[in-house]
Copies of this chain bind each other. A is one copy, B any other.
Amino acid sequence: MSNQQNQKQQPAAAADGITPRGTDYGQWYLDIVKRADLADHSSVRGCMVIKPHGYAIWEKLQRELDDRFKATGHVNAYFPLFIPLSLLAKEEEHAAGFAKECAVVTHYRLKSIDGKVTVDPESKLEEPLVVRPTSETIIWAQYKNWIQSYRDLPLLINQWANVVRWEMRTRLFLRTAEFLWQEGHTAHATEAEAREEVSRMLDVYADVAENVMGVPVVRGHKTEGERFAGAIDTQCIEGMMQDGKALQMGTSHYLGQNFAKSADVKFLNKEGQLEYVHATSWGVSTRLIGALIMTHSDDNGLILPPKLAPIQVVIVPIYKTPEEQAATGAEAQAVAKELRARGLAVKVDDREGMQPGAKYYEWERKGVPVRIEVGPRDLEKGSLCVVRRFVLEKEGESEPDLRKRKKQFLPRAEAIAGMPALMDVLQKELLERARAMREKRTRVIDTLEDFEAFFKGEGGFAWVHWAGTHEDEDVMAKRYETSIRCLPFAEQIPEAARGAGACILTGKPSAQRVLMAKSY
């Protein structure tokens, strides 16, 4: 009752309603989010619904992060959603930074007036409560009770939570009014220890970005204007998306003694003196799923690195007769069992009344790394048809050659035994491909002319010398829509971009280049 596996496939884009990247990149992104069933807009302005497939990816990402947090000595806890207005206002710079995007609870009861449900005006709170945009203030208010002496330090706590920032222009995963994240908040006896923690956690983020998500990142410091409100140093990892724009994927802050001072958190040091505690905070969010999509996916849909794929292998039985259905169905289950025994997440798609082609498209769209087709001829030959979601394209390769590399008929035992290794290959190749893309779109630029031409063209990452002021940064932003993504750690600068020079805008001397790009 079903098609053969060698049927001619339709171009997936048309069939699946995904706008090609080349046509409209922004629409392509939204199409992927929708068609891969990752998220939906909700009936609340700016708030998204994370659908099961999107949430399953988030759960895998959470596990990878959480395991690393715990391995570096952190524990999880949970702090209140609400922050009293006066508490938020205590650290001025911090409050000013978030003031324009705070959802505020002012009442605590509803009332039915003339049959219409409305806010009960008599239930006004004495003090308004801000829905946390981040939790430094409420957490440090607590730390005051938890920290007395150097024996209580370091205090290494992480929280998984939802936060709200009232963004006016939102985009699914990348910028939403409510999002999910983790926020680490640590307290240390010395500045040196705190700064070490900041680096350690940035390394954890970079490790997850590159080795789990397959997204290469540049590490560095934010400029003064881009720092977290209340921080002394903000470090970040920046990835490049397929449109050449940068995406800030995670930040780690050294907060100095600012929050300890405003919350009055002192500790008795080993010498018996009272000192203010040194603080860090660090976070990544569901925004990372946006980064994942925009780094790897193609016009046929999502592409997932095996480490984050909720389904790593999908098996589709192919048949025409009830006998074939029974035989290929049984074989699909048998293969699934053997693969699961090797630690893989496998789904058998034996839905009836659906063409294999439609199944292929659906799982391609959803980013499953490998598909196995099991047809009657495979049973006869003892083979399996293994189809990779992607292969690294070779320059000048013909479409049939590429398709041949994508789809291979392998002896059954070899296909099964080789599957974990194939996952490793796909994981590695995604990173490799993303790195190649980034290198292709990275330039060392020395003149404003070249800079302008680059960003009027396809754009990407520009390594430029900089010695301007905050106002000069605004000039660049106005003229070219670019910003300093980071002041990179020395070893992050490619060899060709190292050394001193002159600021691209002001001509003033500059010790090392910075990373400039358009960004999300």
- Spell out A's residues near B (CB within 8 Å): 40, 42-44, 47-52, 54-56, 58-59, 75-85, 87-89, 95-96, 98-112, 116-119, 128-131, 138, 141-142, 145, 157, 161-162, 164, 166, 178, 180
Q: How far is the CA of A178 from the CA of B83 in the complex (A)?
A: 12
Given A105-B104, A108-B166: A52 in contact with B81 (beta carbons within 8 A): no
**Contact assessment for A164 and B81 in the assembled complex, using a CB-CB cutoff below 8 Å:** yes
| Structural contact, A75 and B52, CB atoms closer than 8 A | yes
CA distance in complex: A79, B48 (Å): 7
A47 to B78, CA, bound (A): 11
Please indicate the chain B residues that have their CB under 8 angstroms from the CB of A59 in the complex.
76
Given A107-B106, A109-B102, A110-B102, do A77 and B51 touch, yes or no (CB 8 Å)?
Answer: yes
Q: How far is the CB of A262 from chain B (nearest CB, A)?
A: 13
In addition to A49-B79, A50-B77, 16 A-B residue pairs with Cβ atoms within 8 Å of each other are A42-B138, A44-B82, A47-B82, A49-B80, A51-B77, A54-B77, A78-B180, A82-B103, A85-B119, A89-B116, A89-B117, A95-B117, A98-B110, A102-B108, A102-B109, A131-B131
In the complex, the answer to whether A48 meets B105 with C-beta atoms within 8 Å is no
Selected A-B contacts with CB under 8 Å, 14 pairs = A42-B79, A43-B87, A43-B141, A44-B82, A49-B78, A50-B78, A81-B178, A82-B103, A89-B117, A100-B110, A104-B107, A104-B109, A104-B110, A107-B128
> Does A82 lie within 8 Å of B178, measured CB to CB?
yes
Q: Pick the residue among B47, B78, B96, B99 that contacts A81 (CB under 8 A).
A: B47
Give the 7 A-B residue pairs with the shortest CB-CB distance, closest first.
Answer: A47-B80, A89-B117, A52-B75, A99-B110, A50-B78, A108-B166, A104-B107
Contact of A80 (CB < 8 Å), options: B44, B51, B81: B44
Report the minimum CB–CB distance from A40 to chain B (whole Å). Answer: 7
Instruction: Give, as a whole number of angstroms, the nearest-CB distance from A58 to chain B.
Output: 8
> Given A89-B117, A142-B49, A157-B52 in contact, is the A44-B129 Cβ separation under 8 Å?
yes
Taking a contact as CB atoms under 8 Å apart, the answer to whether A42 and B104 are in contact is: no
A106 touches B109 (CB 8 A): no
Q: Which residues of B contact A77 (CB under 8 A)?
A: 49-52, 54-55
**Cα of A58 to Cα of B78 in the assembled complex, Å:** 10
Inter-chain contacts of A157 with B (CB < 8 A) = 52
A54–B98 alpha-carbon span in the complex (Å): 30
A258 to B33, CA, bound (A): 31
Residues of B within 8 A of A104 (CB): 105-110, 119
Q: Cβ of B108 and Cβ of A101 under 8 Å apart? A: yes
Q: Which residues of B contact A79 (CB under 8 A)?
A: 42, 49
Residue of B40, B85, B107 touching A142 (CB-CB under 8 A): B40
Known contacts A84-B43, A110-B130; decide if A99 and B78 are in contact (CB<8 Å): no
Inter-subunit contact A101/B109 (CB<8 Å): yes
Residues of B within 8 A of A145 (CB): 40
Shortest Cβ distance from A155 into B: residue: B52
Q: Name the CB-closest residue of B to A131.
A: B105
Residues of B within 8 A of A83 (CB): 44
